[in-house]
Chains A and B, each alone.
Chain A
Amino acid sequence: MKLTGLTHSTLCLAITLASLSAVAGVTDQDISDSGKRNDQIVVNGLNQAGQRYSTLDTLNTSNVKELRPVWALSFGGEKQRGQQAQPMIKDGVMYVTASYSRVFAADARTGKKLWQYDARLPDGIMPCCDVINRGVALYGDLVIFGTLDAKLVALNKDTGKVVWKKTVADYKAGYSISAAPLIAKGKLITGVAGGEFGVVGKIEAYDPSNGELLWTRPTVEGNMGYVYKDGKAVENGISGGAPGKTWPGDLWKTGGAAPWLGGFYDPTTDSLLFGTGNPSPWNSHLRPGDNLFSSSRLALNPEDGSIKWHFQTTPHDGWDFDGVNELVSFDYQDGGKTIKAAATADRNGFFYVLDRTNGKFIRGFPFVDKITWAKGLDKDGRPIYDDAHRPGEPGAEKKGTSVFVAPSFLGGKNWMPMAYSQDTGLFYVPSNEWGMDMWNEGVTYKKGAAYLGAGFTIKPLNEDYIGVLRAIDPKTGKEVWRYKNYAPLWGGVLATKGNLVFTGNPEGYLMAFDAKTGEKLYQFNTGSGVIASPVTWEMDGEQYVTVLSGWGGAVPLWGGEVAKRIKDLDQGGMIWTFKLPKELVAKH
């Protein structure tokens, strides 16, 4: 009896806590329900699968031309560089990150700024590609994000004041964080970006309430993973079992493979799905072997970070094909059977459909028009290399020998997330058609020393467009429709039950397409390039759409032919929010 009584009071306490936290902020239930609830956006990717799909259909193909801007908010200051965040919405408040590691909270109805947090960034940070950030995680009372100097910062959702701050990695070694952190089973999960020299990529879990490290998992074969118990590191197995299986010499100690774009949590298989960057050193001739787990997708156990399976898209990468692009979970029917699949559109130009229960390759096909570095994929999804398109060994050949590789190292698709429509069963993939010339430079220097480097230049494949938004059937590999864009596409995509697909372009337009036909139904000029991911939600019975505007990111960082196409684009830094007014819904 005594025991029962205890259980009863514990239960009461648990219920009280649960209801308290429901008032206080984002709960685990909110996160699990993210795919069903339209009144809030509490995860990156709109649902846990990362599908960027909304079940809202108030706004649809027949009335989208009535979409109206209702407010805009400037990020202010002189820090108008690339804006890539996906906004979050909770209890009528929008939470969004901006360039230079800033966070803004705004009234979602009016755009009134509620608070702003500016991370104080040290001198000497060396971010790879602009000063972008891709958004926050919400949990309980906290708004959590990663900074350019590789810290996690948790802010109070009402005041914007720092609750805790934690260094994930040393920015002096070249590390930074630009991806949105992930909440999975009450844990805060993050990867890290950068780290060119003497480092190994890692995925880590933290206690969201205080920033305590829970586990760390290196993404290069041979390195030990740890779980932390009472502040003590306990060995939890070597990634890949042992060193030296797919790396020569001691290069596994410094193999790169940074998981810099974050990932998703799939509750149906209880797995964290993350991608990893390319291997180090850059010269592939120095590291014969597959170089696991570079340029791969990994499924991790969220409890302790152990690797359940991996799928490597570009073994022995020699072209800078990061494997970080998002792996989106989806189910489909095949002969009466439900297939638990996951799909990714890789830098290397191939679209992969995997069995997300075990990482096995189901099928793969090119999603861009031209791939030269591989002749195709074998039955296991491994690329069949074309050795004429691997850059030669530096120093071993005459300088100036150049190889042409398509896609370019910026990828058939880069960071910008695709969307999956549960209605059409199609993926909407923001892609780019470009290749690159690569050659070994005769004379190069690095920090006062002679060096062997590679030169390269990106070349558009077509005169009239680089960007292509594609509707792709994951079951057949068939492209259902395409929309061509003059400048490269660099923003995320959103699909809705209203048979709509939204994305933005560097020319500054937020655009809406018919999800079935690709017909462009709406566009609005936001005044600067759109390279962020649009979202939609419902408030006061009306459907809203928001996207950030602000040109920058990696695209403006290169020259050659591509520079000509973007030279007239100007910087910015705004949140744009639209809605379909009630009275106009009735009209249609």
Chain B
Amino acid sequence: MRWLPTIVCWVLCLCVPLAVDARVRPYDDIVASGVLKVAVYEHFAPYSFEENGKARGVDVDLAQALADSLGLKLELLWIVPGEKLDDDLRNFIWKGHYLRPGVLADLMLRVPYDKDYRNQRNDVGELANEQVVMFGPYQRERWQVVHDTRRLPKVDSIGVFRLHRIGVELESVPSFYLSTVFGGQLSANTDHFPTTAAAFAAMQGEKVDAVMGLRGELDWLLFKAKDAELKESDNTYPNLGQPTWDIGMAVHESNRQLSNAIDMQVEDMINDGRMAKLFEAYGVHYELPGLYQDLE
């Protein structure tokens, strides 16, 4: 039954392709209400999480900065991630979820900014996410390996994992990659965990010698671990389809006025260094998204 949620979005696309959902708040209504509703992923340190009952994280701080810049109060909506991004866009940007009738976010963060994804067609040739505007790239994300130098001094190539155990999150690209690369030779040394944080803890508990996951998550875990023997490697990843990608935001297609206003703020924050500071506060490397790298 696992594929069902994925297809839900197609139904509305097909039946009422251009209808604007009544619950999408136009820019003027947002301003009048004094509140900006921003959707962020739950339990997703260092980007968005709760600590001692308080919302924290790079995306939470960014949402706050954006709300401040528009003179609005921030209201966070926590996303329970679906199987794919399409599910989250459907649940928070254009359709909502039947368990939360009437609830949509004005803005969703951590939405990849990728032309190919944006232009993806569904099975009947229509744009799969035509009700969503994806804009405002603010970070480049990538896959990364962290290793414990006490047991694995150096990762010259991914081939060392023929001899060393490595932890990954279940149902993730690192899992797919390490299970299949080099004809599956690394598969037996790949241990699966429910989260990257659990894999990291297993490395600290000497159950695995390394972890592969999102660089942002690993940066944060290293930042908290304060253990100089745990290091990020700089090896290459042969045959890894997409080693880097850019992270941006999304609003409803009818709400370009909001995306334009926010776009300007994001650009300012990147150019004056405030964006980098948000990431540094959580020990996360800040890498400019491609749009800004090309300008430099």
Contact = CB atoms under 8 A, between A and B. Distances in A.
Given A253-B192, A322-B1, A449-B172, A444 B180 contact: no
Given A78-B101, A277-B1, A409-B3, A283 B176 contact: yes
Nearest to A442: B116
A129 B4 contact: yes
A449 B2 CA distance: 19
A554 B1 contact: yes
B241 interface: yes
Interface string A428-453: 00000000010001111111111111
B282 interface: no
**A260, A393, A448, A452: residue with the most chain B Cβ atoms closer than 10 Å:** A448
Interface stretch (A9-17, A118-126, A211-219, A529-537): A118-126
B80 A320 contact: no
A173 B188 CA distance: 26
A261 to B, nearest CB: 10
**A130, A277, A559: residue with the most chain B Cβ atoms closer than 10 Å:** A559
A198 interface: yes
B52 interface: no
B228 interface: no
A260 B2 CA distance: 12
B85 interface: yes
A447 B44 contact: yes
Interface in A405-461: 409, 437, 441-457
A396 B83 CA distance: 21
A450 B242 contact: yes
B54 interface: no
Given A78-B101, A394-B176, A444-B85, A449 B14 contact: no
Contacts of A23: none
A443 B99 contact: no
Given A126-B80, A394-B176, A457-B123, A558 B170 contact: no
Contacts, number: 182
Contacts of B13: 559
Interface in A522-577: 554, 556-560, 563-564, 567
Interface string B201-245: 000000000000010000000000000000000000001011001
A366 interface: no
A322 B3 CA distance: 12
B168 to A, nearest CB: 10
A248 interface: yes
Chain B interface helix/strand/loop/mixed: mixed
A454 B6 CA distance: 10
B15 A285 contact: no
Nearest to A455: B123
B82 interface: yes
B192 A254 contact: yes
Given A449-B214, A450-B245, A558 B117 contact: no
Contact of A448 (B190, B191, B247): B247
Contacts of A564: 14
Contact of B188 (A124, A248, A322, A567): A248
Contact of B2 (A196, A393, A447): A196
A443 B99 CA distance: 29
Nearest to B79: A447
Contacts of B99: 121, 123, 125, 127, 131
Given A254-B192, A396-B180, A448 B122 contact: no
A286 interface: yes
A446 B83 contact: yes
B241 A452 contact: yes
Nearest to B188: A249
Nearest to B198: A198
Given A251-B192, A254-B192, A448-B141, A559 B14 contact: yes
Contact of A278 (B2, B110, B190): B2
Nearest to A251: B192
A559 B120 contact: no
Given A286-B180, A395-B180, A128 B2 contact: yes
B74 to A, nearest CB: 19
B179 interface: yes
Contact of B14 (A81, A394, A560): A560
Contacts of B85: 444-447, 451
Given A121-B99, A128-B2, A446 B81 contact: yes
B194 interface: yes
Nearest to A252: B192
- For the complex of A and B, the 6 pairs showing the least CB-CB separation, nearest first, are A559-B10, A198-B194, A457-B123, A445-B85, A448-B110, A447-B81
Interface of A: 78, 81, 121, 123-131, 173, 194, 196-198, 248-251, 253-254, 260, 277-278, 280-283, 285-286, 320, 322, 393-396, 409, 437, 441-457, 554, 556-560, 563-564, 567
5 contacts: A131-B99, A250-B190, A447-B44, A457-B122, A567-B15
Given A281-B171, A409-B3, A456-B7, 13 more contacts: A125-B99, A128-B5, A286-B179, A286-B180, A322-B1, A446-B171, A446-B172, A449-B214, A450-B245, A557-B8, A563-B10, A563-B11, A567-B15
